[in-house]
Amino acid sequence: MSEAAPAEPRLSATILLLRDAAPKPEVLMVKRHYEIDFAAGALVFPGGKAAAADASADWDDWTDGDFGPVQQDARIAAIREAYEESGLLIARRRAVRGPGAPLVGADIAELLSPHRGAVDRGEMSFLGLMKEHDLVLALDSLVHFGHWITPVMMPKRFDTHFYLAPAPLWQIAAHDGRETTDAVWLSADEALAQELDGKATIIFPTRMNLKKLMRATSVQQAVSMFGSEPVVSVLPKTGKSPDGEPCLYIPEEAGYGQTMELLSRVNV
């Protein structure tokens, strides 16, 4: 009897929104609702599956940056998910669009906040909302940070692009109450310490990207450093540890500082 073919991974995106703090920058993390079917109760970065509308050609005139089909779709998904789950909007006024132009402030974010649920449920077009308020998504402000593909033996698989970006100044993050039950700013060190102390659940890809983020000492340094480093795709492969325990292996060249994780610690 032949084995079933692996499930096709779905394009998804997640975003590490950073703000400066002492002694290390903080990243926005949201707590997944306990009734969600993936990573229930875990601390994650805002993100989720790309929607069909994220790939619309109509976005070309309402985005800054030229990234090609997959990267543009994933970046749009990352910004949309961040808006839905945290209320933070990485966008510019169309009248001042262009690389380096300022992002919208708290006034626009608060004005659009009541529509988060409708966009999330598919009752309102995110593109239509941007057009209505004459805004463009600042895709160019996102730095490609990681690329993880769910192992082939998993029934649900995701092809996930991780991005980091400076959090929009003056905007206030707030969880959505549906997919997420909390929104917190933590340094990578603090988040990992919470997991070690049993105060938080963090899934394997999130944990690895937090460990990678620990190298940054400021938002600007993170943008500069990670923006100049290549992103190596990670498709964890099953194997055995030197002690014979089931584990996952990831490529050393991905730059996460480790290549093996025991399956007992994967939390998926």
pLDDT tens digits, one per residue of 192-233: 999 999 888 899 999 999 999 999 999 999 999 999 999 999
Position 178 scores a pLDDT of 61
**Separation of alpha carbons 204 and 192, rounded Å:** 11
Least confident window among 25-34, 136-145, 245-254: 25-34
- The answer to whether residue 156 scores a pLDDT higher than 90 is no
For residues 18 and 243, the answer to whether their CB atoms sit within 8 Å is no
Chain centroid to Cα 197, Å, comes to 24
Block residue for tokens 């990578």: 188
User: In 3D, which of 163, 189, 186 has the Cα closest to residue 80?
Assistant: 163
Phi, psi of 131 (to 5 degrees): -65, -45
Peptide bond into 151 cis (omega under 30): no
In this structure, the number of other CB atoms found within 10 A of the CB of residue 108 comes to 18
Q: Does the pLDDT of residue 1 top 60, yes or no?
A: no
How much of the chain, in percent, has pLDDT values that exceed 90? 76
The mean predicted confidence, pLDDT, of the chain is 90
What are 11's two structure tokens? 């394009």
pLDDT per position as a tens digit, 80-94: 999 999 999 999 999
State the SS3 of the chain. CCCCCCCCCEEEEEEEEEECCCCCCEEEEEEECCCCCCCCCCEECCEEECCHHHHCHHHHHHECCCCHHHHHHHHHHHHHHHHHHHCCCCEEEHHHCCCCCCCCCHHHHHHHHHHHHHHHCCCCCHHHHHHHCCEEECHHHCEEEEEEECCCCCCCCEEEEEEEEECCCCCCCCCCCCCEEEEEEEEHHHHHHHHHCCCCCCCHHHHHHHHHHCCCCCHHHHHHHHHCCCCCEECCEEEECCCCCEEEECCHHHCCCCCEEEHHHCCC
Least confident of 2-11, 50-59, 75-84, 210-219: 2-11
Amino acid 34: pLDDT: 46
Separation of alpha carbons 123 and 112, rounded Å: 15
| pLDDT, greater one: 160 or 6 | 160
Distance of CA 31 to the CA centre of its chain: 13
